Structures are given as C-alpha cells and as structure tokens.
Amino acid sequence: MGSIPAGGTKMMQLPKEIIEILLKLQENGFEAFAVGGCVRDLLLNRTPEDWDVTTNAKPEEIQKIFSDHFYENHFGTVTVKTDSEDPTLKEIQVTPYRIEDKYSDKRHPTDIKFVANLEDDLGRRDFTINAMAMGLDGKIIDPFDGEGDLKKGFLKAVGKPEERFGEDALRLIRGTRLATALGFKIEEKTKEAIQKNAGWLEAISKERTRDEIIKTINSEWAHEGILLLEETGLLKYILPELREGIGVTQNLHHIYTVWEHNILALKYAVEKEYSFEIRLASLFHDIGKPRTKRGEGKYSTFYGHDVVGARMVAQIMARLKFPNDIAEKIIKLVRFHMFFYNVGEVTESSVRRLLVNVGKENIYDLIKVREADRIGSGRPKAVPYKLRHLKYVIEKVSSDPISVKMLKVNGQDVMKELNVAPGPKIGLILNSLLAEVLDDPARNTEEYLIERIRELDKKSPEELKSALQKIEQAQEEDEKERMKKYYL
Ligand code: ATP
Ligand code: MG
C-alpha cells in the first residue's frame, strides 16, 4: 500500500528547472506553482513522470517570458523547454489558471475560461490528490484535503463524482489506473459513480484508453488493476474477451478458473519485473480457452486455444490501436505459448521451427510467458532440467557451428589464388586454414589467409588431412562447453 512517508522522511525537493520557471514567473509579477500529479508524487516520495506548472499569467504573457517554448493553443498550455538531461524535465507544461466551461461529449470541454484564483483551477482537477499545488516556499495549497486522502490511501473525486465523470469520461479509467499505480483504494462514492457510469468510457478514444491500460499493466499492482477494472465494470468496455474466462473451470491439471489463472500469470510476470509485452502476453495467454472448451469437469479439453487466443489478441491489439511491432510480438507469444519442452520431444528440427515461428529475438520471452503460465497454474510441476535442456538446444541450433564458413576467405578465393579448377584439394586447404584459425582466432584475416594458401598448396594431401582432427576436437569441445553451461 502506498501512503505518505512516515514523519521524519525528508520530502523530495522541487528540481532546479521548476524552481527557475517559478522564479521567472514571480519576477515578472505573476503567481506560479507546481501543480497536480507532480505535487502528489513529491508528497509520496515518488519520482514524478512529468511536471506541470500553473500560473495566473495568460498564454501570451507566458510566451513572452520564456523564449524557448511552443504553443499549440491547447487549452492555453504553453510548453516551456529547458536544457535538462532528464527526459521528464525537458519540457514543462505551463498552464494559466483556468476552468472548463461546458462539456458536450464527455470528452472535451467546449470552452475554457481563464480565472484569477488558484483555488478555482484546483477545483477543475479530477481527484483530490491531484488537486494540490506547491509554491517555491514548499507550502502546499490543498483546498480539498488531498493530503488527508494521500495519508488514507484514498482516491476521491473532487466535488460530485458523477458530475465530474460526466464532464470527462477519461477520468473513469484515470481513476482505476491511478489507484493501481499508487496502491490506493477508490473512495466508496467515487467507486459507485464509476460503476454506475462505466459505459461512458465508450466516448473516449481507444488511444487514450490504451495509454491508461499500458500504465496499469506497467505498475507494481497490475493484476489488482485488472481486478479493479472488473469490479468497477470498466473491463467490459475495454477487454470483454478477458471476461469470458470468469467462472470457466478447467481440467484436472488446474485448480483455478481461466480468469483466475490469467490474472495469476500476470501477477507472476509483474513480480519478476518482466517487460510490458511479457506481462500482457501472460494475461492473455489462455484467453482462447473459453471458446475452445469441450466437455466438463476433470477431462475437459481446450484444443486450439492457442490459435483461437492469438486471433482474439490480434483483434484486441487492433481495436486498442497498439503499434504493429508490439501487437505482433504479443500475438506470437500467445500463439506459441504451448511449445513442447519435454526432453524426448525437443528435437533440433522442432526447435528450429519454433525459432522461425516465434522469432529468435522472442524465444526467451516466450519461455518467460510459459513460466508465468506454469507458476500461475497454482500447481507448478518441477521443470528446471527440461528448461535447461531446451535452452541448450536453442543455443545449439542458433549458434554458428564451427566450420570453414567462419573463415574470411572461401573456396572461390582459394581457386583464384592458386589458379586451379574445383577439386578435393580446395576443401583440404580450407580445413587447414580453419585449423590455424582455431589455434589463434586473430589469424582470421583475408591478408593472413591468402598468404597461407600458397604455403599450404606445397603440402601433400596426407599432411593437410591432419587438420580434420583438430577441427573435430574443437567441435566436441564447443559442444561440451554448451552442455556444461546448462548443467546437462
Ligand atoms: P501521471 O503520473 O501519469 O503523470 P498525472 O495525474 O500527473 O499522472 P497528467 O496527465 O500528468 O496526470 O496530468 C497532470 C494533472 O492534470 C493531474 O494530476 C490533474 O490535476 C490534471 N488532470 C489531468 N487529466 C485530467 C482530467 N482528465 N480531468 C481533470 N484533471 C486532469
Ligand atoms: Mg503527471
């Protein structure tokens, strides 16, 4: 659970970039404060994702004070550029005190008004913990007792919850996302208002919903976040496919329903601090099970759930407008999560096929998804040996074998240098060159090898054949090393 650090812990300070902006505005006779999420995060001793400044200066006045800025006339916000190295401090949003006037579509205010008072500006913000400002003197302006809610670990709407969600439905999912990221509870009336009006989320663009989902999945309590989306009724409007697994029991290998199992796989992936893609693939890995379930009880089956699941995930990714590369990776991880890893089944050709299907770059992530699947089943069978064996075969089929292909010269070069036609001698010379390179890899240069071709040409075939032994020996050692690496 997140909450305000116990007394005595020193609160983080405003960074110098923000202090400079506040100072400049004050020198020009204006009020200026750090505001919103950054103040909340400072009070929680968390590092803010971005910084916002609010002021009673108007956009034109802000622009005059800061030469390096851009202004897109987006609700009056001027983006001020700093020379900070820190990506979160490179661009600071400086916004005049404003209120939002009328709302028509649950998305955008039809009009905004600049106002004279900081308190009015704070009142338009979504949650009490986001409605605090901090001045240069470190004093907190907090008309809605955001600090009290921070201490309680409460996410509570400013004003009447239903009205606030009606103005801008993005706040519905900002609410569950912030509660998840901070480990907070949503205050009862606020939660009721979300539950009652979850359907308003449909007014929100898929891109904005997607961004909140990404933040939810990337947070420490991601699996609680998915449960909270379900509890608030929002999940139905974001990932209805995931809900199909609710109450769907599985066969004798499982103690959890499909829904519970997917959630637990996500929980494990988060505990291991796996990447976003692995987390989402873990959450989705069995999403196709409800649609493929045949029979009931101990012997029910789910044949093809990986194929069906991958198709469902493709639809989800397209609907939520995920970039293609991320979508493709997650689809592949779901599609191939059922790969075999019983030692007897793992042939070199099956591993080669898997590598082609899932992509070399994804193979270890696929193993992580399977790990999340296994642990999330609640009945993990011991597999370390099988996994080590699989990793060994993966390395074996994907690493370059010791062969004359490693050389910086080839048969063509030998024939050209000696001015001869193809024949067994060419191979013998190449083998001898390889033996020399195995002795000292630094010799693998065109210059050295071309020179050696003429010398080796003087030797008899019998003399040259001795190189073969050396090569076989090196190949054997290579194999032994690999087996040792995986404790086989
Ligand atoms: P994050 O940690 O992701 O940056 P945040 O709360 O800081 O979360 P921002 O998008 O940076 O979110 O917004 C900064 C501040 O602007 C918020 O803390 C809040 O005061 C206000 N705000 C942002 N979005 C809304 C909204 N949809 N409705 C009302 N106020 C909002
Ligand atoms: Mg922020």
DSSP secondary structure string for all residues of 268-300 = HHHHTT--HHHHHHHHHTTTTHHHH-BS-GGG-
Does residue 134 lie in a domain region?
yes
Residue 286 in domain: yes
Q: How confident is the model at residue 105 (pLDDT cuts 50, 70, 90)?
A: confident
d(CA 367, CA 337): 8
Pairing relationship of beta strands 32-35 and 140-141 according to DSSP bridges? unpaired
pLDDT per residue as tens digits for the range 307-364: 999 999 999 999 999 999 999 999 999 999 999 888 888 899 999 999 999 999 999 9
Mean pLDDT confidence for 119-146:
97
Cβ neighbours around 402 below 10 Å, total: 18
Question: The domain that contains 76 carries what CATH number?
Answer: 3.30.460.10
Statement to judge: residues 293 and 394 lie in one domain: yes
The verdict on 416 and 393 lying in the same domain is no
Q: Are 293 and 410 within one domain?
A: no
Per-residue pLDDT, 253: 82
As a whole number of angstroms, the distance between CA 53 and CA 43 comes to: 16
SS3 percent helix, strand, coil of the chain, rounded to 5, is 55, 10, 35
Asked if 400 and 406 count as a contact pair (C-beta separation under 8 A), the reply is yes
Write down the pLDDT at residue 10.
53
Statement to judge: residues 376 and 443 lie in one domain = no
pLDDT in tens, 161-202: 999 999 999 999 999 999 999 999 999 999 999 999 999 999
Tokens linked to 429 = 């010379």
Q: Are 161 and 13 in contact (CB under 8 A)?
A: no
Taking 80 as the threshold, does the pLDDT of residue 4 lie above it? no
pLDDT for 233 beyond 70: yes
Radius of gyration (Cα) for the chain, nearest Å? Answer: 31
Q: At what angle do helices 446-457 and 424-439 cross, to 10 degrees?
A: 130
Beta-strand runs (E) in 75-228: 77-81, 91-96, 98-100, 112-114, 133-134, 140-141, 154-155, 185-186
Q: Is the CB of residue 36 below 6 angstroms from any atom belonging to ligand 1?
A: yes
Same domain for 345 and 451, yes or no, is no
For residue 399, pLDDT beyond 90: no
Distance (Å) from CA 361 to ligand 2 centroid: 33
> Which tokens go with 274?
């796996």
Tell me which of 125, 132, 150, 218 to substitute to probe ligand 1's pocket, judged by most ligand atoms within 8 Å of the beta carbon: 125
Pocket test for ligand 1, best of 94, 130, 142 (most atoms within 8 A of CB): 130
The DSSP bridge partners found for residue 379 are none
Largest pairwise CA distance in the chain: 98
At which residue do the structure tokens 């912030």 appear?
178
Q: Is residue 220 part of a domain?
A: no
Confidence label for 1 from pLDDT (cuts 50, 70 and 90): very low
- Please report, for the chain, how many H helices and E strands are present, in that order: 24, 11
Name residue, tokens 């933040």. 215
**Containing domain of residue 33, as a range?**
16-152
Taking the centre of ligand 2 as the mean of its atom positions, its distance from the CA of residue 441, in whole angstroms, is 54
Mutate to test the pocket of ligand 1, among 38, 54, 88, 126 (most ligand atoms within 8 A of CB): 126
Instruction: Specify if 246 maps to a domain.
Output: no
Nearest-CA residue for ligand 1 atom 30 is: 125
**What pTM was computed for the model?**
0.88
Same domain, 391 and 414: no
Q: What is the mean pLDDT of the segment spanning 208-232? A: 98
Same domain, 82 and 133: yes
* The token pair that represents 298 in the structure block: 């101990």
Averaged confidence pLDDT in the chain: 93
For residues 213 and 211, what is the distance between their CA atoms, to the nearest angstrom? 5
Range of weakest confidence among 56-60, 280-284, 427-431, 484-488: 484-488
**Which of 218, 179, 170 lies closest to 197 in space, CA to CA?**
170
Query: Cβ–Cβ contacts within 10 Å for residue 377, how many?
Result: 18
The closest of 223, 306, 317, 307 to 261, measured between CA atoms, is 223
The answer on 410 and 390 residing in a single domain is: no
Nearest to 226, CA basis, from 264, 256, 253? 264
Assess whether the C-beta atom of 288 lies below 6 angstroms from ligand 1: no
The pLDDT value recorded for residue 60 is 96
Determine which residue's CA is closest to atom 3 belonging to ligand 1.
Answer: 49
| Side-chain half-sphere exposure of 196, counting CA atoms within 13 A | 11
Cβ proximity of 292 and 338 under 8 Å: no
Same-domain check for residues 135 and 84: yes
Asked whether residue 416 falls in the same domain as residue 363, the answer is no
Q: What ligand is nearest to the CA atom of residue 53?
A: 1
**Looking at residues 229-238, what average pLDDT do you find?**
98
Length of the chain: 488
325 part of a folded domain: yes
- Residues around ligand 2, an ion, CB closer than 5 A: 37, 50
42 and 140 belong to one structural domain: yes
Indicate if 23 and 146 belong to the same structural domain: yes
Residue nearest to atom 6 of ligand 1 (CA): 37
In this predicted structure, what is the pLDDT of residue 345? 86
pLDDT at 244: 98
pLDDT at 2 over 70: no
Cβ count within 10 A of residue 480: 10
Q: Is residue 113 in a domain?
A: yes
Residue 5 within a domain: no
183 conformational bin, left if phi > 0, alpha if psi -120 to 50, beta if neither: left
